[in-house]
Amino acid sequence: MRTALVCGAGGFIGSHLVKRLKSEGFWVRGVDLKFPEYSDSLADNFFIGDLRDMGFCRTVFDCHFEEVYQLAADMGGAGYIFTGENDANVMHNSAIINLNIAEVCRLGEVERVFYSSSACMYPAYNQDNPDDPNCREESAYPAAPDSEYGWEKLFSERLYLAYSRNHALKVRIGRYHNIFGVEGTWRGGREKAPAAICRKIAMEPEGGTIDIWGPGTQTRSFLYIDECVEGTLRLMRSDFTGPVNIGSDEKISINDLAQLVMKVSGKTLTIKNIDGPIGVNGRNSDNTLIKSKLAWAPSQPLEAGIRETYRWISDQVRLNSVVGASRVLRGSEISSSDKSIGPSPDIFGSTVAPSASFLDKQEELILTLPEKVEKLPKYYKFEKKK
């Protein structure tokens, strides 16, 4: 049976990737600090633990994997990575995860590894003009990312490439450009622009006003999650190491994105542009390389993905306002925002035991405790019920 490991399987892209790999018949192991927030993981087994811990990484890599997807990172939207307040954590946490994973891939039985880089590694000097940003893959150097998040991505790209050269590890590197879609973070400070705008518009009554950070003339492109997963699998199974952009080339200003969401919502609102972190002035995926190497590129119009995402976020907003703001709803109205539920996301401490109520929620999985339980177990392993 084909086997895959998804690091960051409790996150947005990772949880969608697990679903897709399962639909292709893979046996899948997921690993993360937490389970996915909005639906149960379909992984065959799922480790809850800290990938900054090399001992834990060795445990996770204890069998042969045809495909390893490395998506775990300390990340968030502009409100998390561009304010400067989280720089040390972002660099330290993500770099250690990648140093550990590159090494356990070398030590273990891994056929190939995919690393999720980001368009944030492109130099700021090529992205001053919102109408004509340059994000061709070869424009990465001389390096000058505008955020520490981007510098860490660049470092880790180089790390995986070095392992590829020195240890013959088969590496694939995708540079994601603003991925969005259903079951993504939509509140709490780590959400990205499409989700934040959908939430603001869903919450605002007709005729109201929404705040948009910056002048609103800054441009970006946004890729719907399904095409992100498709591009990731195609790159992984290709002969090209990368790095390759995985993004849409449908560039749009942030104010126009807000107008598009309003159109989808059927509401007319006023946009108020306020001070806030915005990142570079312009960014767009250049898809020349992906077309030439994979004979494929994302093609879905932005509006189609926005329709899906707005529908899902407005449902979340509506259901939350019905049952109270302290609850997060999954498909069947399941609460998971209670802080006592699930292993602690405090990644500096030991993982805290999941409560019984949490285990009830993740109905498909049963808990297997590590054989050697120290004072506090370092990780938890969940197996699908037979």
Q: Which residues have a catalytic role annotated?
A: 149
Residue 101 vs residues 114, 159, 176, 281, 320: alpha-carbon distances, Å: 11, 10, 19, 33, 38
Closer of 242 and 269 to ligand NAD (Cβ): 242
Beta-bridge mates of residue 380: 48
Taking the C-alpha atoms of residue 121 and residue 124, their distance in angstroms, rounded to an integer, is: 9
Closer of 9 and 269 to ligand NAD (Cβ): 9
Residue 15 CB, nearest approach to ligand NAD (Å): 8
Asked whether 43 and 29 are in contact (CB, 8 A), the reply is yes
Identified binder of ligand NAD from the candidate list 42, 140, 179, 258, rule CB under 6 A? 179
Closer of 137 and 204 to ligand NAD (Cβ): 137
Q: Does 191 contact ligand NAD by CB under 6 A? A: no
Total interface residues for ligand NAD by CB under 6 A: 26
Taking the C-alpha atoms of residue 19 and residue 301, their distance in angstroms, rounded to an integer, is: 23
Residue 145 CB, nearest approach to ligand NAD (Å): 12
Question: Where in 40-69 is the site for ligand NAD (CB under 6 A)?
Answer: 50-52
Q: Does 72 contact ligand NAD by CB under 6 A? A: yes
Q: Does 279 contact ligand NAD by CB under 6 A? A: no
Q: Does 181 contact ligand NAD by CB under 6 A? A: no
Q: Does 347 contact ligand NAD by CB under 6 A? A: yes
Q: Does 178 contact ligand NAD by CB under 6 A? A: yes
Residue 41 vs residues 38, 67, 142, 151, 323: alpha-carbon distances, Å: 9, 18, 41, 31, 24
Contact map string, positions 196 to 225, toward ligand NAD, x by CB under 6 A: ------------------------------
Closer of 224 and 269 to ligand NAD (Cβ): 224
Residue 178 CB, nearest approach to ligand NAD (Å): 5
Closer of 89 and 335 to ligand NAD (Cβ): 89
Identified binder of ligand NAD from the candidate list 73, 202, 260, 261, rule CB under 6 A? 73
Taking CB positions, which residue lies at the least distance from ligand NAD?
11
Asked whether 182 and 16 are in contact (CB, 8 A), the reply is no
Residue 303 CB, nearest approach to ligand NAD (Å): 18
Residue 179 CB, nearest approach to ligand NAD (Å): 4
Asked whether 78 and 125 are in contact (CB, 8 A), the reply is no
In terms of Cβ atoms closer than 10 Å to its own Cβ (0-12, 13-18, 19+), residue 311 is: middle
Contact map string, positions 5 to 44, toward ligand NAD, x by CB under 6 A: ---x-xxxxx-----------------xxx----------
Identified binder of ligand NAD from the candidate list 4, 21, 75, 365, rule CB under 6 A? 75
Asked whether 133 and 127 are in contact (CB, 8 A), the reply is yes
Closer of 204 and 241 to ligand NAD (Cβ): 241
Residue 208 CB, nearest approach to ligand NAD (Å): 28
Taking the C-alpha atoms of residue 85 and residue 57, their distance in angstroms, rounded to an integer, is: 28
Q: Does 81 contact ligand NAD by CB under 6 A? A: no
Closer of 97 and 173 to ligand NAD (Cβ): 97
- Give residues in contact with ligand NAD (CB under 6 A): 8, 10-14, 32-34, 50-52, 71-75, 93, 97, 116, 118, 176, 178-179, 192, 347
